[in-house]
Amino acid sequence: MKTPCTALALAACVALAACGSSDQKNFDKSTEYGPSPTLPEPTRGLLPNMEVPKVVGWQGATPTVPQGFRIEALATGLANPRNVYPLPNGDLLVIESKKEAKEPIERPKRPVMAWVEAKAHGGGGGGPSNRILLLRGAAGGKPASQSVLIDHLNAPFGVVLVGDALYVADTDAILRFPFKAGDTRVGGAPVKVVDLPAGPINHHWTKSLTASPDGSKLYVGVGSNSNAMERGLDEEMNRAAIWEVDPSTGAFKVFASGLRNPNGLTFYPGSDVLWAVVNERDELGPNLVPDYLTSVTPGAFYGWPFSYWGQHVDPRVRPQQPERVKAAIPPDYGLSSHVAPLGLAFYTGKSFPAQFGGGAFVGEHGSWNRPELNGYKVVFIRFENGRPVGTPMDFVTGFLKDGQARGRPVGVAVDQAGALIVADDVGNTVWRVTSNSARP
């Protein structure tokens, strides 16, 4: 009996999926970027769209960059490199990170989702993860040395150096290590600055970190514990928010909220405006909701979970909160749906052509929640007068080949020589992009 039953259900799914895909074909892709992207009606078939590429690795190949640029691997064989942080002396920190704890299974759907996510990630390298590596002499291409700077961290992601202090955002706390640029070891045990929301669920676990230009405050991104509050509001206490932390006392306040999974926290060069890339919610259709790049207004509420892109109410969330929806503001710039932006770097170097100056590189980890894969690349968005303009330009591509994943970009950074550094946590590689016309 299983067979006819399954066949019937499949027929129903196919019928629904067919409707979905025709909608998707009619969707004008050029309208999904920028300050007011097209927002189709929410749809979902019987099954959420789940499409993850098989992980095959690079096998000696390299990503593709535009003409006039060159890309090479700085380090390979890593274990889930998720973020990169160039130091002022030319050294490069590579943050290897992996969430070890499993989420509780409160509904039958959960193990299925966990399995899909694990599949999208491949093996993730065999070696030990959750540590920070120091690459020295990387400016010329191959680093002269690679050493473990800090080991046995707990799913670290964000890193920021302020004077003689290296702040590391583990998934459950911000730690301060005595360290200055040029050191090859940290000068002792860490001091905990503040606990961050973590287990037992800890769904969005990457804690992005930056410091204000004067170094007096830290900003940390704390992602939500759910897709759309389906684990209850209690689990979202101080989550889906960016915190402002006083590094000397550990006192914090919520700096901005309603940001489902904010990452890539970066101050725009020469300003005191904080920017972030945000992963919006899933299962409202392949072209909804666009992930976004936005400047973060202090005290603002960006809608999650009650509404998206300003005041578009999410029908799944109960009880609804019309008062909060009324206060929700839209973000600045849509990146298109489900691209999963996790890295953001403004181009502050001199070696790339002039149009890149002040623009944003965004590392798009890639989709799992739409039939046609989206993201899996690093895009560049031009800025004029401190605001994003135009449509994103594909900058580093080739992470997908024939529907299979060779890698997935995550954190991005611009190093002292003006090269773009990309962490690839599925290819287990750190890439460096230089301009052919680069001054040595």
Residue from 14, 15, 47, 251 touching another protein (CB under 8 A): that is 47
Considering only residues 214 through 243, tell me which ones interact with another protein, judged by CB under 8 A.
Answer: 226-232
Nearest CA to 165 among 182, 184, 147, 186?
Answer: 186
Looking at the Cβ atoms of 44 and 324, the one nearer to another protein is 44
What CA–CA distance (Å, rounded) separates 302 from 42? 19
- 106 part of the interface to another protein, by CB under 8 A: yes
Q: What whole-number distance in Å separates Cα of residue 136 and Cα of residue 138? A: 5
Determine how many CB atoms are found less than 10 A away from the CB of residue 304: 30
The piece of 46-54, 172-180, 241-249, 382-390 that touches another protein (CB under 8 A) is: 46-54
Backbone conformation region of residue 318, classed left if phi is above 0, alpha if psi is from -120 to 50, else beta: beta
DSSP one-letter code for 203: -
Q: Which residues pair with 168 in a beta bridge?
A: 159, 175
Rounded CA gap, 359 and 309, in Å?
23
CB–CB of 23/16 below 8 Å? no
Q: Whose Cβ is closer to another protein: residue 14's or residue 46's?
A: 46
Q: Please compute Rg for the chain using Cα positions.
A: 21
- Shortest Cβ distance from residue 307 to another protein (Å)? 14
281-310: contacts with another protein (CB under 8 A): 283
Yes or no: say if 127 and 148 are a contact pair by the CB < 8 Å rule: no
Kindly state the smallest distance separating residue 3's Cβ from another protein, in Å: 10
Binding mask of the shown chain, residues 174 to 203, with x at each position contacting another protein by CB under 8 A: ------------------------------
| Interface with another protein, residue 9, by CB under 8 A | yes
In angstroms, what is the minimal distance from the CB of 327 to another protein? 21
**Of 271, 285, 277, 262, the residue nearest 378 (C-alpha):** 277
Q: Quick one: which of 85, 86, 84, 89 has its CA closest to 182?
A: 89
Which C-beta is closer to another protein: that of 39 or that of 228?
A: 228
By CB under 8 A, is residue 2 in contact with another protein? yes
Q: What is the DSSP letter of 356?
A: G
Q: Which of 20, 34, 37, 48 binds another protein (CB under 8 A)?
A: 48
Q: Measured from the CB of residue 184, what is the shortest distance to another protein in angstroms? A: 47
Minimum CB separation from another protein for residue 6, in Å?
Answer: 8
Omega before 222 within 30 of 0, i.e. cis:
no
Binding letters toward another protein, positions 10-39, x by CB under 8 A = --xx--------------------------
Q: Which of 20/190 has CB closer to another protein?
A: 20
Number of H helices, E strands in the chain: 3, 30
We find the least distance from the C-beta atom of residue 109 to another protein, in angstroms, to be 5
* Residue ranges binding another protein (CB under 8 A): 1-2, 4-6, 8-9, 12-13, 44, 46-48, 106-109, 226-232, 283, 315-319
